Structure 1
C-alpha cells in the first residue's frame, strides 16, 4: 500500500524551482561546460536563432556572432569556484534584436538570448530616467517616503500597471506599504500577504537573483534538450528561467498578464520586494530591468543606512541608560530599587511598557501591573538554565497563567543574579489590531495529475482578521540592548558579591573585637562582685555592656534577615507615637545627662506602625546626631502630620555630609562609619536597617542639609 505524505506548506517549499528544465519562450538558451563544450539548449533555439545545435559541439564551432563568442571566452577566463558574473550585450540574428546575457554558475556557462523589440535609443532614455530617479531616492528622509517614490519611479521607467512595495515582517508575511497603480485598478495598499505566498526556496532565489520577469503568464515553456534535459541545469541566475506552475496559477487568480519582481536585500536578508503587475503581456528590455534593479540596490542601501542610524541612536540611548544604572547599582545595596529608579530609561531602551524587578524574594514593579500578577509571572520563569526568556504571545506563557495575563502578552526576562534569584522582567501589552489580508490567507488542497498539492489562493478580496493575545515581537535591536544590559548587570552582581564577601569577613572581625570589650567588662565586674566590690557601680557597668552587646548582635541579625530576603517581620498596630517618642528621649537623656534634646510634637498622633521598629529608627537617628553633631549643640526632634502622612525629622548642628559619601549613605559597613573615632562601637549598620524599616512601612527616609544642620526626614503613611 502506497503511503502518501500529508500535504503541508513543506510540499510547496520542496518544489525545485531552480531546476525547472525549461525556460520562458521569448528567448533561447545555450549551456556549455567550462571547456566550452555544448551540453544542452532550449528547444526553440532553431526557431529564434536559426541554429541547429549538436551535443558536444565546441563553442567556437557554433555560428554565433563574434561579440557573443568573445563575451563567452572572457566569462570562461574569469570563472572562480565554478562561477563568473553576468555580462550583457546587444546582438542581432538576421533582423531580430536580442539582449545577450552570459554568466557561469555551478561549473556551467549559460548564454541566454532574450528577444527585444524596443529600440536602443528608447532604452537609453529609460536609463536616463532611472539615473534621475536614483538621485531623488537619495533625498528621502524616511523609509515610507523612500518606498513610495520607488514604486512611482519603477512604474514610470517600466510601464507596469501596478507596482507595490512589500515590507516583510519577522514571520515573513508582507505588508504593501507603498503602491503606484493605474487609476482603475483596485488598491492593494496596506494589505498583508501571508508568508506562504513566497515559499522558502523562492525566498532564497529572490535573495541571490534579485530580479525576475514573467513577460507573459500564459506562456508555453520551451524545454531544455541535450544533456541539460537529462541532468537538471541550475537556472538560479537565469533571466529566462521558467517559473513554478503554482506561481503562474497564483498570478492568474489575480488577473495578472505579466509580472516582475525586484528584491530589496538588506544585510543578506530579503527585507522587501518591489512587485510589478501588468494586466496584459509586457516584455521589459533587459537594460531597463537592470536600471530598476540598480534602483532597488540603492533603495536597499538607503534602508540599511536609515535603519543603522535608528539602531545607532537606540544603542547610544541604551548605553547611556546602562552607564547611569551601573553607577547606581555599584553604590546601591538593593538592585531592585536601583533598577526602579532608572525604570523609565530601561523601558525606553527595551521598548517595554512595564518592569518587574525581584531579588531575594522581594519584588518591585514599575507600571500599571498588579503585584500579585507580577509575582505569578516571576514564578513562571525557569528555575535554572536560561538567563534570557522571551515571550511574544499569551500562548507562550504557562497555561495556568494565561487567563490572568490581560492586558499583558509580551515578556523579556533577564536573570541578572542567579545566586539571589534576581530577575528583571520587561513587559509589553497585548496589541489588538486588524490585519487586512489580500484574500483569506489559507491554501486549499486539491488533487491533480501529480497527486494532492496545495493550490494558491483564488480570491484577493480584502479579508479582515482581528488579532488578539499577541504583543509587538521583540526586535533584534531590543534583544541586543537586553543582552548588553544583562552583561553589565551580571558584572555588577559579581562585584557586589565580592564586596559582600569582603564586608562579611570585616564584620566578623569587627564583631569579635567589639564583643570582646563588653564581655571583658562583664567578666571584670563579676570578679569584683565576687570579692565584695560596690554592687551598684558594677551592676551599672554590666547593664551598659550587655546592652551594647545586645545592640551589636541585633544589628547583625537584622542585616542577615534583610540580606536573606526574610524582611524584618513587622507587626503593625495603632500606636500613639507621642508617648512612645517621649519615653525614648527620656531614656537618651538619662543615659547621657549632658545631651540636650529639643522636641516639638503634637498632643497625640496615632499611626498604624510597628512601634518597636519605629523606636529603633528614631534611636538610630538620635544616636547618629549625638555621635556626629557638634558638641554642646542641641538635637532637635520634630513630629507632625502633613497631607495625611507622618513626618518625623531629627536635626543636629554639624558640617554637611561629604558629597562623595552620599551614594553609600545607607549602605552597611561603610568605611566612613566603621572605626569612626566618634562612634567606636558602631558597625555602620544603623542607617541601613533604619531605611529598611521605613521602606517596609511604605515610607521613605531622606537626608538634606539646611541652615548649618544635618537633617534626616522620615515620612510614613498613617495607615
Structure 2
C-alpha cells in the first residue's frame, strides 16, 4: 500500500551504512590517496572547480601535481605532527597554485587510505586569527564553574555566543539510551525543547560510534545535493570509509528529521566523559550555515574541556556522596563487635543501608540466610535477579528501574532493584529496592518511526512533529543515578571490608583458641601428673600411719575429698583464685550441729588465695579439723573451735585455737598429718606452721606469704554457712545414672552406707528410661554428661513425675546444664557421704515445697 503509514516494525537505522555514503557535502572538496605513494585514487566530483583538472584524468596522478608541491609539503608536515595521536593534521590559510584566496584543509589516514579535505576560507582567515584567544576565554569561563547546573547553562550560552547558531542545547544521554535536553540557549522566537526527551532511536548505534570517533560534526545545509566520489567503486573494491571525514555527507533520514524540526544547518560537539559518550552540544540554525574550520577546532577544544569539567564535577559529587556514605557506614559498623556473627548484624542494619541510597527496602542473601525489610521482592524473585546479574557476566553492581521487564509479574510495589555482590559471584548479595513511582515524561514529538512505501521500496520515516508529546510511565522507579551507584559501590567496598575483617578476626580467634587449647592441654597434663603424684604420696603415707584397713580407708577418703574440694573451689572462682572464708566455712560446716551453731566460729577479712595456696590450705584445714574431731575440742560436746585470720604485714596469718575439749599433751611421735601440714606450708608455699599442744587446747598459727594472697572487700565475722545434713537415706530407693562403672559402684556403696535400701544403676538414658517404666525411685542421682548423650531426657521425666533428683558432675560449675535445670542441686565428683546426703535432702525439700531448689555442695 503506497504511502501507507503504520507503526515501524523494522528499525533499519541501526543498519544504515552512514560511514560509507560515497559522497560529501558540497561546501568542500575531498581527495583520497594511496597512503604510501600518495597517488590519487578518488576525488569528489567538484575537484575540477578547485584545480581545473577534469575528473576522468586525475586517478593515479601524484598529489603534488594536483595541489602543488608547497601545499603538499604543508599538509605532510601537519600530518606528521599529529600522527602519534591519530588526530587529523590541520592547515589553515592554505594557498593553492593558480587560485585566488586561501583555504583550510585537514589530512588524516584511515582504513589504508589518506584523506585530504579542503574548504574555502570564507572570512579570509579572520576566524583563525582570533580562534586561539577565543578558546582561552571560553575555557577560562568554564573553569570558573563548579556547580553542575550552572556549568551546563553557561556552556549552552557560551557556545551560542561563540558559533552564532540560533539554538544550542546540552543533550544528555540517559541510562536507557534516550536523551534529554538539560540546558538550552535560543533566540526568543523559537519554541523550547528544555527538559524534553528524545528516544534512543533518534541517534542510532552506529551514529553514536561515529560521535566517539569524530567529536565535531557539521551539517551545512540539509537541502544540499551531495557530491559523489569519482570514479565509481570497481566491482569487489572496498567502500571508502569516511568515519573520520569532516565532509562526509548526511543520511537522508537524518536530513528529513532535521527538516521536520525546522532546522537547515546543525553542528554537534561530542561530550566524552571517561571514554563514554555522555552527551552532545547540539547547535541548530534556521538557515544554511558553514562554520569555518578554525571555529570548529575551537568548538572541539571547548567540548574536550567542557567534558573534563563535567567529569570533574560528577567525580566530585560521587566522591562527596561516597565519603558521606562511608562516614555513615563507619557509624553503623562502630557497634559491630570483632567476631560478632556478620549475617545477623547486617540483617539488623538493612533499613539503614536502604536509606543511604534513598531506597524503600532492602534484603540480604548471605551464607544461605535470607533477611529482608517489609518492602522487598520475594526470595524467589531475588534468586532470579541473582541469575540475571550472574548471566550478565559482571561482578559489579547490577540495577534496573523496571524489574517487570526482567521478571514476569513481580509481587508487591517494588519496581527498582539494585543488586550488590558481596562475593566473587552473586551467591552473597545485598538487594536495595525502590517502589514504583508513576510519572509523566515529555517527549519532543511522539517517539516512534513509521514505514513509508511497500515491498522493496519501503523506508523508515522520522516523526514529522516535534510538538510536546506526554507519556504516562508505570512500573518504573526513580532512576539509579551515578551518585546512587557511587554510594552502592561504597557500600559494596565497606561490606567486603567488614566481612574480611570479621573473617580475619574469626581466623585469628580460631588460631588463638587452638593456641589456648594446646597451652591448656600442656597445663592439664602437668597438673594431672602433679595430682597423681600427690595422691600417690598421700596414699603411701596414709598407709604407713594407719593401724587398720578401716582407718586407712577413712583417712585416705577424707584427704582426697579435701583435695577435690579445694580443686573445685579454686576452679569455681573462674580466675584461678579462691575465697579463704568460703573454704574455711565449707570445711567447718560439716562438723557443726544444728543445735549449736557457735561451736565453730570463723572470722576474718575477705581474702583470695591463688590456686596453689588454696589446695595447700584445704589440706591443712582438713588435717586440723580431722584431728580436732578425733582427739581435740570437737571430740566432746562442749568443745569449741575458733579460727581467725588476719594480715601480719603483707602476709596472711591463720590462728587456730581449740578449747573445752579433753586435756592435751604433746604426741610421742610426729604423724603423717603433722608432717603433711609442715611440708605443704613450708616447702610448697615457703610459709610457716607452728603448733602448740597447750593443756587447755591445741593452738596453731599458719603463715601464708603475701605473693599467694589477694585482698578483697572486708566482711563481718560470721559463722560457717554450710551445715551438716540431718536428712536420712534409711530405706530410700535410689536410681543412679552414670556411664563410668567404677564411679557408679562407688556411688552405690556410698548411698548404701548412708542407709539406702535399694540402689539401681543405669549406664545410659535407654537403661534409665527402661528402669523407670517399672521402678519409681524415691530420689535419683544423674551424671549429666553420659559420653555421647546427656541425662536431660531422664531429668525431664523425673520432673514430670515430681520425683526429686540431683546432678552429679565432674565440672566446676553448671555451664553444661540447660538453663531450665540450673535450679537442680548438684554434687561434684568425687562425692562425699555428707555432701550427697545434704543435697538429697535439698532435692526432697524442693519437691515437697513444689518450688525449684537452689543448692550446690561439695
Mark yes or no: TM-score above 0.5: yes
In 1, the alpha carbon distance for the partners of 2:791 and 2:388 equals 35
What's the counterpart of residue 533 of structure 1?
A: 753
In 2, the alpha carbon distance for the partners of 1:554 and 1:166 equals 78
In 2, the alpha carbon distance for the partners of 1:486 and 1:109 equals 54
From 479, 500, 524, give the equivalent of 2:743: 524
Q: Helix, strand or coil: the match of 1:459?
A: coil
In 1, the alpha carbon distance for the partners of 2:142 and 2:821 equals 70
Alpha-carbon deviation of 1:70? Answer: 1.2
Q: 1:522 to 1:464 in 2, by over 3 A?
A: farther
**Larger relative contact order (C-alpha < 8 A, sep ≥ 6)?**
1
Alpha-carbon deviation of 1:506? Answer: 11
- 1:208-607 matched pairs, under 5 angstroms: 208-226=213-231, 231-317=238-324, 319=326, 331=338, 333-343=340-350, 346-347=353-354, 350-357=357-364, 364-366=371-373, 369=375, 377=381, 386=390, 390-396=399-405, 398-399=407-408, 402=410, 404-412=411-419, 414=421, 423-447=429-453, 451-474=457-480, 475=482, 477=486, 480-481=489-490, 483-485=492-494, 487-488=496-497, 491=500, 519=738, 524-529=743-748, 532-534=752-754, 546=783
In 2, the alpha carbon distance for the partners of 1:68 and 1:543 equals 116
What's the counterpart of residue 676 of structure 1?
A: none
Please give the per-residue CA displacement for 1:169-204, whole angstroms capped at 9, x wherever unaligned: 122211000000010000000001111111111101
| Matched-pair contact (CA < 8 Å) for 1:440–1:460 | yes
The answer as to 2:96 corresponding to 1:88 is no
In 1, the alpha carbon distance for the partners of 2:121 and 2:745 equals 117
Alpha-carbon deviation of 1:269? Answer: 0.8
Q: Helix, strand or coil: the match of 1:399?
A: coil
Q: Helix, strand or coil: the match of 1:62?
A: helix
In 2, the alpha carbon distance for the partners of 1:97 and 1:411 equals 58
From 128, 134, 155, give the equivalent of 2:133: 128
What's the counterpart of residue 36 of structure 1?
A: 38
Alpha-carbon deviation of 1:466? Answer: 1.4
Structure 1 residue runs of 5 or longer lacking an equivalent are 1-5, 557-586, 589-614, 624-678, 682-719
What's the counterpart of residue 680 of structure 2?
A: none
The answer as to 2:60 corresponding to 1:56 is yes
| Matched-pair contact (CA < 8 Å) for 1:45–1:51 | yes
| Matched-pair contact (CA < 8 Å) for 2:360–2:375 | no
| Matched-pair contact (CA < 8 Å) for 2:416–2:476 | yes
Q: 1:544 to 1:124 in 2, by over 3 A?
A: farther
| Matched-pair contact (CA < 8 Å) for 1:99–1:116 | yes
Bigger Rg, which one: 2
Please give the per-residue CA displacement for 1:668-704, whole angstroms capped at 9, x wherever unaligned: xxxxxxxxxxx9x9xxxxxxxxxxxxxxxxxxxxxxx
Aligned residues: 554
Alpha-carbon deviation of 1:523? Answer: 5.4
In 2, the alpha carbon distance for the partners of 1:555 and 1:508 equals 28
Please give the per-residue CA displacement for 1:361-408, whole angstroms capped at 9, x wherever unaligned: 765444x537xx6556556666999487655323146435x2x32155
In 2, the alpha carbon distance for the partners of 1:544 and 1:200 equals 85
Alpha-carbon deviation of 1:426? Answer: 1.7
Q: 1:397 to 1:266 in 2, by over 3 A?
A: closer
| Matched-pair contact (CA < 8 Å) for 2:422–2:492 | no
In 2, the alpha carbon distance for the partners of 1:381 and 1:270 equals 28
Please give the per-residue CA displacement for 1:483-527, whole angstroms capped at 9, x wherever unaligned: 5356446646755885898899999999xx9xxx99578952544
Alpha-carbon deviation of 1:462? Answer: 0.6
TM-score norm. by structure 2 comes to 0.56
| Matched-pair contact (CA < 8 Å) for 2:782–2:791 | no
Q: 1:100 to 1:555 in 2, by over 3 A?
A: farther
Q: Helix, strand or coil: the match of 2:290?
A: coil
What's the counterpart of residue 152 of structure 1?
A: 157
Alpha-carbon deviation of 1:237? Answer: 1.6
Q: 1:292 to 1:441 in 2, by over 3 A?
A: same
Please give the per-residue CA displacement for 1:571-612, whole angstroms capped at 9, x wherever unaligned: xxxxxxxxxxxxxxxx99xxxxxxxxxxxxxxxxxxxxxxxx
| Matched-pair contact (CA < 8 Å) for 1:431–1:470 | yes
Q: Helix, strand or coil: the match of 2:354?
A: helix
In 2, the alpha carbon distance for the partners of 1:82 and 1:142 equals 32
What's the counterpart of residue 21 of structure 2?
A: 20
What's the counterpart of residue 190 of structure 1?
A: 195
Q: 1:395 to 1:546 in 2, by over 3 A?
A: same
| Matched-pair contact (CA < 8 Å) for 1:446–1:455 | yes
Q: 1:311 to 1:359 in 2, by over 3 A?
A: closer
What's the counterpart of residue 691 of structure 1?
A: none
Alpha-carbon deviation of 1:353? Answer: 3.2
Structure 2 residue runs of 5 or longer lacking an equivalent are 1-6, 525-567, 569-736, 761-776, 794-804, 807-817, 827-855
In 1, the alpha carbon distance for the partners of 2:365 and 2:112 equals 60
In 1, the alpha carbon distance for the partners of 2:424 and 2:111 equals 52
Alpha-carbon deviation of 1:240? Answer: 1.0
In 1, the alpha carbon distance for the partners of 2:328 and 2:822 equals 38
Q: Helix, strand or coil: the match of 1:61?
A: helix
Alpha-carbon deviation of 1:129? Answer: 3.5
What's the counterpart of residue 547 of structure 2?
A: none
In 2, the alpha carbon distance for the partners of 1:526 and 1:190 equals 94
| Matched-pair contact (CA < 8 Å) for 1:410–1:473 | no
Alpha-carbon deviation of 1:51? Answer: 3.5
| Matched-pair contact (CA < 8 Å) for 2:399–2:416 | no
Q: 1:466 to 1:506 in 2, by over 3 A?
A: farther
Q: 1:339 to 1:40 in 2, by over 3 A?
A: same
What's the counterpart of residue 598 of structure 1?
A: none
What's the counterpart of residue 654 of structure 2?
A: none
What's the counterpart of residue 688 of structure 1?
A: none
Q: 1:103 to 1:450 in 2, by over 3 A?
A: farther
In 2, the alpha carbon distance for the partners of 1:73 and 1:437 equals 48
Q: Helix, strand or coil: the match of 1:90?
A: strand
Q: 1:289 to 1:482 in 2, by over 3 A?
A: same
Q: Helix, strand or coil: the match of 2:129?
A: helix
| Matched-pair contact (CA < 8 Å) for 1:314–1:349 | no
From 71, 76, 81, give the equivalent of 1:73: 76
In 2, the alpha carbon distance for the partners of 1:552 and 1:353 equals 49
Please give the per-residue CA displacement for 1:316-375, whole angstroms capped at 9, x wherever unaligned: 455556666677666354434311454466335555332223567765444x537xx655
The answer as to 2:115 corresponding to 1:110 is yes
Alpha-carbon deviation of 1:84? Answer: 6.2
| Matched-pair contact (CA < 8 Å) for 2:375–2:433 | no
TM-score norm. by structure 1 comes to 0.66
Please give the per-residue CA displacement for 1:16-56, whole angstroms capped at 9, x wherever unaligned: 11111111111111111121111111101112443445111
What's the counterpart of residue 48 of structure 2?
A: 46
